Chains A and B, each alone.
Chain A
Amino acid sequence: MSNLTALPIILPLIAGIIMAFIHKKTTIVRRLSQVFTVFNLLVVGGIFLYVLQNGAIILETGDWAAPYGIILVGDLLSMTLVLTSNLVATACVFYAPKSLSKEQEAFYFYSFFFMLIAGVSGAFLTGDLFNLFVFFEVLLMASYGLIVLGNGKAQLRESIKYVLINLFSSMLFVTTIAFLYSVVGTVNMAQVAERVQEVEQQGILTTIAIMFFFVFATKAAVFPLYYWLPRPYISPNPVVSALFGALLTKVGIYSILRIFTLIFNQDVQLTHTLFIYLAALTMIFGVVGALSTNNIKLVVAYNIIPAVGFMLMGIGIFTEVSVSGTIYYLVHDMIIKGALFLLVGAVAYVAGTSDLRKMSGLIHHYPVLGWLFFIASLVLAGIPPFSGFIGKLLLLRGGLAEEEILIVIVGLVTSLLILFSMIRIFIRGFWGEKTEIPLPEREHKGKMMAWPIGLLLTFSVLLGVGAEWFYPSIESISKYLMDPQLYIDSVLKE
């Protein structure tokens, strides 16, 4: 049964290779990719259910016993995130034919897409720090391919910045792993955790912890390191933006969550307090960015940043409630960011511009898109009964219990400003004077784009309304994370 863990990585990898060979037959590739993604989603769903009932499954590749070989750990947290990312991928693959041009589709879009999914799943599943780096590189390589797709002037200019910052942080990642290896003599996460516990995380290990945080904070766009994010994220096609916004920063947050609950959990006073301050600054600066612009794509891209702040806040407060808030928010944010990027992509497509000042009265022509956008705004801002509310409620409750009043106030104000930044688009873009339909030839395609978005939003609403069904498993994940011994025992089998 343990071989199941490898399937979420291997299946997309095989699909990506097949699509690379037949990339010119656009219609076949398109249909095949859709079938394959749905199939993959079903397989991952099956594995998720299995893990939910029977607990974590661990694959020791090549039958090398745990601390020596390469291991894949499919615990409930990993599988939840893999399932969510596959859900977003499914929506994206159905949206792609409407949004991409024929040339872009033929130019290996689906290959890169599947490689990205393989990399993201691998990063979630691996139980080994060096392999985390390798899977980061797999997903980054695929993202480099996706970000240059289209070959525009601005796009190339932004992608070079994106590649450079990621390359630099990857190199730093390797260096940090080398540091850690010289201190603890292993890269297996469970064994690292065990050894760090034994020496009670002395000074040098805390330094290494901060270096790890620096690396993942660059990927996840935490406060001083977020400046690279918004522009590269809006320059490619909306489908690519949605994949990036939904998956890439979340891999960074997942890594912080994993490493700072499992390995570096001794010197909480220093590291986790730092997280709380950085989380507050991340929220403020992100939302100010979202308010500062009239470009609707940029508003959504900036809205990634406060969400990262919220998730980091849960890790910083470091109680069972707040960590379960982070996990809930992680799942919620993957879905809603995917939906929002697809939505603004559709809006910009039908309006022919992404400048908010040039559009008005779109709801008369596109009522479905309009109301989807309205619901998505409420979900993002955390209005009850939607999923954002549950996540924020848990985070704020965790914050109040630990008497971190400042961060709670910042969080609440930020939520309000997020709502304002989104509703501004709704009021100015969808309401307002009814005008002639801009670009009538795009009407049919624009309306078709609503389907995949509707799918994602349905799940998002379900996650909020059905919180009672999901909360027990989220709570059990959080309990599991707060007791690192469980992870260590399940991997090292002692």
Chain B
Amino acid sequence: MEIIMAILAGILFTTGIYNLLQKQLLRIVIGTGLISHGAHLFILTMGELKTGAPPILSEGVEKYTDPLPQALILTSIVISFGVTSLLLVLAYRTSKINGTDNMEQMRGTDYE
């Protein structure tokens, strides 16, 4: 199971980075979204995947899921949600004010 999840995370990273290297601004934003999904899946996988066991440890319980990755992933999801929404607004404003959404045309010069 971990292997499959790791491969899935890898695919998400690949597609994310492919999109990140595109010229169109919206594609870049989608790329960052895909990368963060990959990272989140990866955190979950790294804490070992188990079925049918709650993340609770008390006396007498032998089988339990590690609760820490779940806490980490939750924090990370919230953060990437915030950043992605900010990035969408920023990309919209940038393309509107600069009159283009092509990164090739957004290089800039020394004196402005």
Contacts and interface: CB of A to CB of B under 8 A. Distances in A.
A354 interface: yes
A61 interface: no
Q: Which of A141, A160, A168, A355 has the most CB of B within 10 A?
A: A160
Contacts of B111: 295, 353-355
Given A181-B68, A295-B110, A157 B98 contact: yes
Interface of A is mostly: helix
Contact of B106 (A137, A151, A157, A353): A157
Interface in A119-178: 130, 133-134, 137, 141, 144, 148, 151, 153-154, 156-160, 163-164, 167-168, 170-172, 174-175, 177-178
Contact of A168 (B35, B43, B47, B75): B35
B65 interface: no
A120 B48 CA distance: 33
A164 B28 contact: yes
Interface string B17-41: 0001000010010001001101110
B76 interface: yes
Contact of B39 (A137, A153, A171): A171
Band of interface residues on B: 35 or more
B108 A167 contact: no
B90 A151 contact: no
Q: SS class of chain B's interface: helix, strand, loop or mixed?
A: helix
B59 interface: no
Interface in B26-79: 28, 32, 35-36, 38-40, 42-43, 45-47, 68-69, 72, 75-76, 79
A231 B107 CA distance: 10
- Residue from B80, B83, B93 whose CB has the most chain A CB atoms within 10 Å: B83
B97 A151 contact: yes
B112 interface: yes
Contacts of B76: 133, 174
Contacts of B20: 164, 168
A293 B46 contact: no
A170 B46 CA distance: 18
B110 A294 contact: yes
A343 interface: no
A294 B110 CA distance: 8
Contacts of A171: 32, 35-36, 39, 80
B32 A164 contact: yes
B87 A163 contact: yes
A141 B83 contact: yes
Contact of A157 (B36, B79, B87, B108): B108
A182 interface: yes
Interface string B73-101: 00110011011001100110110011000
From B40, B46, B91, residue with most partner A Cβ within 10 Å? B46
B28 A182 contact: no
B108 A158 contact: yes
B39 A174 contact: yes
A167 B108 CA distance: 22
A178 B42 contact: yes
A227 interface: no
A362 interface: no
Interface string A426-441: 0000000000000000
B55 to A, nearest CB: 14
**3 nearest A-B residue pairs (beta carbon):** A182-B46, A156-B94, A178-B46
Given A134-B79, A171-B32, A177-B72, 7 more contacts: A154-B108, A157-B98, A157-B108, A171-B80, A175-B43, A181-B69, A182-B47
Interface of A: 130, 133-134, 137, 141, 144, 148, 151, 153-154, 156-160, 163-164, 167-168, 170-172, 174-175, 177-179, 181-182, 187, 231, 293-295, 298, 353-355
